[in-house]
């Protein structure tokens, strides 16, 4: 009966990820972790145990719940952390975020251990994109559209347009530049990605102190 119950929860968790229902996924995982750890002495391990734990680790990253992320890792064997692709994947993403290497997170979209992971990676990337946008808003007066698209990890100029609306930036149709502070369009600066990265690293260090 317990094995059947666990299988139903796993189906529900997978369905919630596929449908993009992150809150439902969290509720399923709260119950599944009980089966995976608390009932480990009376149940044989599920074939999908690490697949779902990896998804849960990735979910915690999207919520910036680093303490929960680390607490879950502490429940796993060192060999699993080192060698299981479902577990090592979110660990690599967490390390990249702490380093401020957001490009590594972006590139990791092409290396997910299972298709279902991509939904959560995109949520995480959207959060990081907003952080970069906030820093760019402070670091630059203006940027060419293509430079901004690259800096903000956008797949298309349409995504840049959406960020312009969100952050109240002005996109000039004439010179194809984004003006981050429309009232100061006469002051321009050259594109300097290292400036934004430096500010992001400082931001990450401040977060570590808070945690």
pLDDT at 32: 97
pLDDT above 90 coverage of the chain, percent: 61
Scanning 20-116, the segments in alpha helix (DSSP H) are 22-33, 49-62, 66-73, 78-83, 85-99, 102-107
H-helix or E-strand spanning residue 171: strand 170-172
For residue 80 the two structure tokens come to 């699993």
Rounded to a whole number, what is the distance in angstroms from the first to the last CA of the chain? Answer: 41
Q: Domain spans of the chain?
A: 2-126, 130-210
pLDDT digits (tens, 9 = 90+) for 47-71: 999 999 999 999 999 999 999 999 9
Distances in Å between the alpha carbon of 166 and those of 67, 130, 142, 197? 30, 10, 16, 22
CATH of domain 130-210: 1.10.10
pLDDT at 206: 53
Is 2-126 in CATH node 3.40.50.300? no
Q: How confident is the model at residue 165 (pLDDT cuts 50, 70, 90)?
A: very high
pLDDT at 210 over 80: no
pTM of the model: 0.79
């Amino acid at each position: 009966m317990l094995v059947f119950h666990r299988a139903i929860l796993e189906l529900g968790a997978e369905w919630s990820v596929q449908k993009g229902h992150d809150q439902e996924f969290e509720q399923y995982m709260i119950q599944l972790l009980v089966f995976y750890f608390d009932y480990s002495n009376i149940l044989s391990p599920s074939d999908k145990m690490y697949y779902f734990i990896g998804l849960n680790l990735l979910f915690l990253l999207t919520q910036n719940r680093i303490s929960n992320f680390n607490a879950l890792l502490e429940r796993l064997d060192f060999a699993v952390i080192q060698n299981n692709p479902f577990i090592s994947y979110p660990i690599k993403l967490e390390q990249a975020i702490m380093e401020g290497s957001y490009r590594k997170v972006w590139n990791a979209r092409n290396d997910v251990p299972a298709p279902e992971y991509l939904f959560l990676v995109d949520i995480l990337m959207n959060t990081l994109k907003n952080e970069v946008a906030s820093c760019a808003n402070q670091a630059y007066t203006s940027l060419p559209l293509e430079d901004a698209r690259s800096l903000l990890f956008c797949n298309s100029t349409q995504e840049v347009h959406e960020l312009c609306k969100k952050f109240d930036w002005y996109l000039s149709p004439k010179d194809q530049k984004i003006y981050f502070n429309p009232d100061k369009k006469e002051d321009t600066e050259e594109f300097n990605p290292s400036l934004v990265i430096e500010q992001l690293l400082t931001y990450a260090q401040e977060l570590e102190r808070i945690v």
